[in-house]
Copies of this chain bind each other. A is one copy, B any other.
Amino acid sequence: MTQPIAKRFPTPAIDTLPPDIRERLLAVQEKSGFVPNVFLTLAYRPDEFRAFFAYHDALMDKEGGLTKAEREMIVVATSSANQCHYCVIAHGAILRIRAKNPQISDQIAVNYRKADITSRQKAMLDFAMKVATEAHKISEADFIQMAGHGFSDDDIWDIAAIAAFFALSNRIANVTGMRPNDEFYMMGRVPK
């Protein structure tokens, strides 16, 4: 890899990292074949690394009313609104895989309103985008509208929390100049 992992902060050598963080890096490398740069960038701050991934896992890996593909749709749509390289490109890859759809991520990143998704998914993204861009206007009326699309209050929490978590994540990535790994660009674009 000739490009830096992140343009602005140093990346610690893996063997200097605390054991739990090193272990997580090795596990993800084993699973994915490479270490996504978000792990290496945040490893500069071990405590923040631990909290970040604990939060991520609590939202993205749990059971619930949203499919894993739908959770990634929220990430791609809101990260695109926040113009975050890492999150759109890396999670775009994950979304293509989760949805088994090579076009979905580009469609949602450019304009989710015109993507080939269900009207329930569009309502989900309308709400997620409101959380991302003007959460102060969320009101009871939004909950009622979401209920009309079949979302429970717990689903709404999940959608909001994912949009909120990536509000954090996008800002960190933009400030550190975090780069998406080269591998992400092609992932999920061609059937295995």
Interface SS of A by simple majority? helix
Question: What residue of chain B has the Cβ atom nearest to residue A185's Cβ?
Answer: B103
State which residues 57-114 of A face B: CB under 8 Å.
Answer: 57-59, 62, 80, 82-85, 88-89, 92, 102-103, 106-107, 109-111, 113-114
CB distance A177 to B84 under 8 Å?
no
Tell me how many chains of this kind the complex includes. 6
Interface band, chain A? 35 or more
Asked if A82 and B135 sit within 8 Å, CB to CB, the answer is yes
Complex contacts, A163 vs chain B, CB 8 Å: 171
Q: Does A22 contact B (CB under 8 A)?
A: no
A164 at the interface (CB under 8 A from B): yes
Confirm or deny: A117 has a beta carbon within 8 angstroms of a beta carbon on chain B.
no
Q: Which residues of A contact B (CB under 8 A)?
A: 3, 7-9, 44-45, 47-48, 50-52, 54-55, 57-59, 62, 80, 82-85, 88-89, 92, 102-103, 106-107, 109-111, 113-114, 116, 131-132, 135-140, 143, 153, 156-157, 160-161, 163-165, 167-172, 174-177, 182, 185-186, 189-190
